A and B are shown apart, each in its own frame.
Chain A
Amino acid sequence: MSFVQFMAWLEGSALGHVMRDNGVWFYGIINLTHILGVATLFGSVVILDLRLLGFWTDAPLAAISRPTTRMAAVGFGIAAVTGAGLLATKATEYVGNPFLYIKIPVIGLALLNVFLVHRSSAWRAHKNRELTYTERRRLAAMGGTSLFFWLTSIGAGRMIGYW
């Protein structure tokens, strides 16, 4: 299945029909929910990433990492489901939109970074003990990477409608 075929399938899917057949406010409400999801995701990520980069070192990392990672996951879930709906409304119209072609792979990279952070020994260690300088440096690098990927995907996502 090519990308164009996939987009046509998505537009014709049950999700596409739900998005189109529920009145003049439905798309707007899903759009609002998408923004709330993104705000929850990024609001959490930015606190955690800045902490990893060296802000607010007087607050224990473990105290910050628990609520931020959970809320980021909740925000991502909301944004992913509503985002699929927004795309499905008229999926074929977004074929050739360069901002979509930036956004989707960069979300993939951001999620890969999440996976790598959680797999790292430094991340696993921070819940039980003070981190060494090298471990903090490693987490700071991944925190900066995370900020860059999420900002890029949000920036590209916002621009989709202006192409």
Chain B
Amino acid sequence: MRLNTIVLAAAISIASIIPAFAHHGWGGNVDEVTALTGMVTEGVKLAGPHGTMKIMTSDRMVWDITLAPPFRTQSAGLRQDTIPVGAIVTVHGQRNRDPNRLEMKTIQVEYAGKQYNVYPEFVDKVR
């Protein structure tokens, strides 16, 4: 039984390492905040863990725009019907660390002269 206790303790210690790198935050994105302007190809969707939309920039690249969680995005005034497909928007945020992944975690969306701050606490990073 003593050996079993040691084995169990070892298993728990190994298992407890797992949460150390389970950090669902901004870690997968670069620190620098940049802007992207493009045409909305897929409108805001408030489903899943984060709100999303897709925009196509002038170089015809389609970007995945990751917004805040659905409730926060909606609270920022950005609803599924706020921005029509085909509209031109500018998003400010942090792009994915992997240069091959066209994904941006967004702080602010600008559309029709209005600013939607989905992460208001980071808005001072937007120049």
Q: Which residues of A contact B (CB under 8 A)?
A: 19-21, 24-28, 31, 50, 53-55, 89-90, 151, 155, 158-159, 161-162
Contacts and interface: CB of A to CB of B under 8 A. Distances in A.
Please report whether the interface of chain A is mostly helix, strand, loop or mixed according to DSSP.
helix
A89 B48 contact: yes
Given A24-B71, A25-B71, A162 B47 contact: no
Contacts of A24: 46, 69-71, 73-74
Contacts of B46: 24
A18 B47 CA distance: 10
A159 B22 contact: yes
* 5 tightest Cβ-Cβ pairs between the two chains A and B: A24-B70, A20-B47, A24-B71, A89-B48, A24-B46
A19 B70 CA distance: 13
Given A24-B70, A25-B71, A161 B8 contact: no
A55 B4 contact: yes
The size class of the interface chain B forms with chain A is 20 to 34
18 contacts: A19-B47, A20-B45, A20-B47, A24-B71, A26-B47, A27-B47, A27-B70, A54-B1, A54-B4, A55-B4, A89-B47, A90-B47, A151-B15, A155-B18, A158-B18, A159-B22, A162-B22, A162-B28
A162 B1 CA distance: 38
A50 B8 contact: yes
A158 to B, nearest CB: 6
A21 B21 CA distance: 32
B4 A53 contact: yes
A67 B37 CA distance: 58
B24 A90 contact: no
